[in-house]
């Protein structure tokens, strides 16, 4: 139980997937202009990463390990792509407006390095199935925290008179850098 809590906190906050590991930056910059869509993206990512962690670590421990672990990358990508397709189908059916708001970034979760990154990190840290699932969930929660915070800042920033050269993505990247520095303060939390 204690290890699970440690994994939860360390993956969600201390080693935040976006702000300390710089994974999943594409949707972080792409869909962070409104809190509502950002939260929707976060929910989709939580669903995909949690499920993909569960499925990939199950496949890894039952089929791939120890003989065929060189197949992990290709198998993981296969699983992730399928899960994203599933999320897309579900969203299209039940939350059509969110589906449209996420646009191209939804299928792009497939190539979101955060998703594959978590699956591979589960393997390198030799987590078991439960630990992997918790790690996946926590990482996705970290992603959601980061993207929702970013969206909050960007909603406020929309009213600011930003210098012409910094308008649009540049100021967002500067903000992301400052947020990453702030999150660096958590690094002493878990030794």
Partner 1 sequence: MDTTMIIMTVVIIAGIGIVIGVALGAAEKRFAVETDPREEAILEVLPGNNCGGCGYPGCAGLAAAIVKGEAEVNGCQVGGSKTAVKVAEIMKVEAAEVEHKVAYVKCSGFIENAEDAYEYSGIETCLMASHVIHKGPKACVYGCLGYGDCVKVCDFAAMHIVRGIATVNWDNCRACRKCIKVCPKNLIELVPYDKKYHVRCNSSEKGKATLKVCSVGCIGCGLCEKTCKQGAITVHDNVAHIDYMKCINCGECAGVCPKGVIR
- Please state the closest distance from residue 64 (CB atom) to partner 1, in A: 8
What character string, x for contact with partner 1 (CB under 8 A) and - otherwise, covers 100-129?
x-----------------------------
> To the nearest whole angstrom, how small is the minimum distance from the Cβ of residue 172 to partner 1?
19
Name residues whose C-beta falls within 8 Å of residue 58's C-beta, 6 or more positions apart in sequence: 129
Minimum distance between the CB of residue 99 and partner 1, rounded to whole angstroms? 10
Two structure tokens written together for 35:
């809190």
What tokens does 49 get? 């990463």
Q: Which is nearer to partner 1, 166 or 184 (CB)?
A: 166
> Are 41 and 116 within 8 A, CB to CB?
no
Residue 36 or 92: the one with the smaller Cβ distance to partner 1 is 92
Residue linked to tokens 């002493």 = 188
Per-residue interface string for the shown chain with partner 1, residues 28-67, x marking contact by CB under 8 A: -------------------------------x---xx--x
Q: Of 28-36, 44-52, 84-92, 170-178, which segment contacts partner 1 by CB under 8 A?
A: 84-92
Helix (H, G, I), strand (E, B) or coil at 136: helix
* Least separation in angstroms between CB 159 and partner 1: 9
H-helix or E-strand spanning residue 72: helix 72-94
**Site residues (CB under 8 A) for partner 1?**
59, 63-64, 67-68, 71, 74-75, 78-79, 82, 85-86, 89-90, 92-93, 96, 100, 161
């Amino acid at each position: 139980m204690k290890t699970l809590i440690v994994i939860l906190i360390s993956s969600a906050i201390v080693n935040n997937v976006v702000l300390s590991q710089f994974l999943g930056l594409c949707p972080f910059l792409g869909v962070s202009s409104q809190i509502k869509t950002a939260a929707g993206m976060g929910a989709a990512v939580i669903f995909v990463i949690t499920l993909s962690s569960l499925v990939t670590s199950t496949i890894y421990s039952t089929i791939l390990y120890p003989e065929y672990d060189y197949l992990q990358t290709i198998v993981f990508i296969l699983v992730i792509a399928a899960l994203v397709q599933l999320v897309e189908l579900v969203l299209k059916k039940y939350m059509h407006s969110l589906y449209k708001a996420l646009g191209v970034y939804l299928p792009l979760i497939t190539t979101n390095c955060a998703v594959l990154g978590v699956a591979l990190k589960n393997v390198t840290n030799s987590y078991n199935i439960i630990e992997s699932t918790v790690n996946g969930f926590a990482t996705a929660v970290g992603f959601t925290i980061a993207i929702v915070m970013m969206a909050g800042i960007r909603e406020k920033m929309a009213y600011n008179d930003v210098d012409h050269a910094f308008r649009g993505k540049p100021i967002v990247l500067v903000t992301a850098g400052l947020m990453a520095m702030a999150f660096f303060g958590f690094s002493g939390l878990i030794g």
